Amino acid sequence: MAKFVPVEPFDIVIFGGTGDLSRRKLLPALYHRWLDGQIPPSSVIIGTARSAMEASAYRALARTACQAASGKNWDAAEWTRFEKILHYAAIDATDPGADWPALKGLLTPGEQRPRVFYLATSPHIYVDICRAIGRAGLASDQARVVLEKPIGTDLGSARAINDGVGEVFSEQQVFRIDHYLGKETVQNLMVLRFANMLFEPLWSHNYIDHVQITVAEDLGLEGRADYYDRSGALRDMVQNHLLQLLCLTAMEPPNDLRDDDIRTEKIKVLNALGFISPAQVRQTVRGQYTAGLHGGLPVRGYLEELSSATVSETETFVAIKAEVKNWRWAGVPFYLRTGKRMSGRHSDIVIQFKPAPHNIFGQGVESVNRLVIRLQPDEAVRLFVQIKEPGPGGLRVKSLPLNLSYAESFTLRYPDAYERLLMDIVRGNLSLFMRRDEVEAAWRWVDGLIEAWEVSRYRPEPYPAGTDGPLSAAMLMDRDGRSWWKESQA
């Protein structure tokens, strides 16, 4: 049975402690780790923001957030104990003259325990915050700094952030977080591949026809209009989430599970990704949702949701046919797809194997196996195999899954992505976090695609909200004699 191992006592300072990420993810994650006995009571959690606020008011804000996120796991008695380690300090992190006496007074004296600085803020002030931490003398040897995505908006800005943060913290102290890497099924991908001889010998162009990676969202901008219109689906999702999933799917076996061994294999995949030139731009699809239906109710289009602009060429949908140009994957297309206001919310990795070399069962009988890894909303791993359908009237073949459902197989509540990653940060385990060269290699590839779009003047194609993207996305697969996998095929 799974057992939660406590971490050593630590201090964590959350910059942006009253923001959306803190309320929805970070504070509930810390509370849940407290409930499972992983956080010692001598630890210190400090939220910071510019606004003046009493500690009692911050604890009330945190209580509301944690209670909403906990549901039936809410424990009022445990909250009373947990809130004793929860504090607040008003800080203007961009003020170069600030000495932060209030923060220093809350931190545990000495430099022997892990001290985590979580930057849940806009990336454009990451460097300012880190320099302020350095000037305040708080960047101890046991300090770690956590950077949320996106790290920059292109290769140049990513390098500038990495350089600025690197002035204060060594690379071993920098935790560039992508919460997708903390999901159980994402980590299980390595176990499936490298702990089961059933799969690894088949994991190459010899037996795999193609790979699909989809991260679909059914919501629209949800209050992120200003940020999203400067970013778009390519920068917001492909540069980090989808490329990280591609790396874990395509990487070679690492020597062991040490952080740099895993991250070195991922960077090899990014370096092998074929650049998409203007002449190859039809290997991609850009889309922008228009008015449509969500849950049977009418919803506005992207342009109508923007607060200040009536014209925008920002994409809300991207589909890409990519290729990993190395010995293992030569000739195997990787189809990447992500978008907002799609027909449903789901994230899947689909490994489609090649058909049997000779079909002895006649026309209309599919002889294709698929491994479907569902990341959300209901984490599962399903291997679709062909079996004979029972009954008289001839031999009928049907595709059915061997199904591993996390909800059905594991009754114990297991940590969500942020819970797991926060404990790894305290432990100093970098294996599920991005190295500097990973981030920059991903931006180098994305910058090439953005340039190809600009040179070819490739504009977004409209698609109605509540659908699976533009028609061109289906045609991208259809031209290759393939189609996007759907849950209805299960």
For residue range 33-74, list pLDDT tens digits in order. Answer: 999 999 999 999 999 999 899 999 999 999 999 999 998 889
| Whether the Cβ atoms of residue 40 and residue 5 lie closer than 8 Å to each other | no
The contacts of residue 354 (CB under 8 Å, 6+ apart) are 207, 208, 209, 368
The crossing angle, in degrees rounded to 10, of helices 436-456 and 155-166 is 160
| Residues identified as active-site | 241
Beta-carbon count within 10 A of 476 CB: 23
Q: Report the alpha-carbon distance of residue 133 to residue 45 in Å, rounded.
A: 17
- Joined together, the tokens standing for residue 31 give 């509370």
Helices first, then strands: H and E counts in the chain: 16, 17
In the prediction, which pLDDT does 458 show?
A: 95
| Radius of gyration of the chain, Cα coordinates, nearest whole angstrom | 24
Residue type, 273: L
Q: Are 251 and 379 in contact (CB under 8 A)?
A: no
In the chain, which stretches have pLDDT less than 70? 1-2, 99, 308-309, 364-365, 393-394, 406-413, 488-490
Contact by Cβ (8 Å): 302, 286: no
| 11 membership: H or E segment, kind and range | strand 11-15
Name the region of 466 (left: φ>0; alpha: ψ -120 to 50; beta: rest). left
Asked whether 417 and 183 are in contact (CB, 8 A), the reply is yes
Tokens standing for residue 223: 């209050």
Strand partners, 377: none
Please report the pLDDT score of residue 490 as a whole number: 52
Strand, helix or coil for residue 136: coil
In whole angstroms, give the CA distance from residue 128 to residue 130: 6
Quote the distance between the C-alpha of residue 340 and its chain's center: 15
CA distances from 427 to 290, 331, 356, 471 (A): 46, 40, 47, 47
Residue 101: predicted pLDDT: 86
Q: Which two tokens stand for residue 275?
A: 């650049």
pLDDT of the residue at 411: 58
Outline where 302-459 has alpha helix (H): 302-305, 406-409, 417-427, 436-456
CB 6 within 8 A of CB 109: no
Residue entry with tokens 């309320």 = 23
DSSP state for residue 303 in the 8-state scheme? H
Q: What is the pLDDT of residue 150?
A: 86
Residue where the block lists tokens 């407290």: 34
Rounded Cα–Cα distance for residues 193 and 206 (Å): 16
Q: CB of 250 within 8 A of CB of 334?
A: yes
Q: Residue 467: what pLDDT?
A: 97
Q: Which two tokens stand for residue 244?
A: 């990280």
Residue among 217, 240, 237, 236 nearest 226 (CA): 236
Q: Which structure tokens are listed for 271?
A: 């370096």
CA dihedral 74, 121, 151, 332 (to 10 degrees): 30
Q: What is the pTM of this model?
A: 0.92
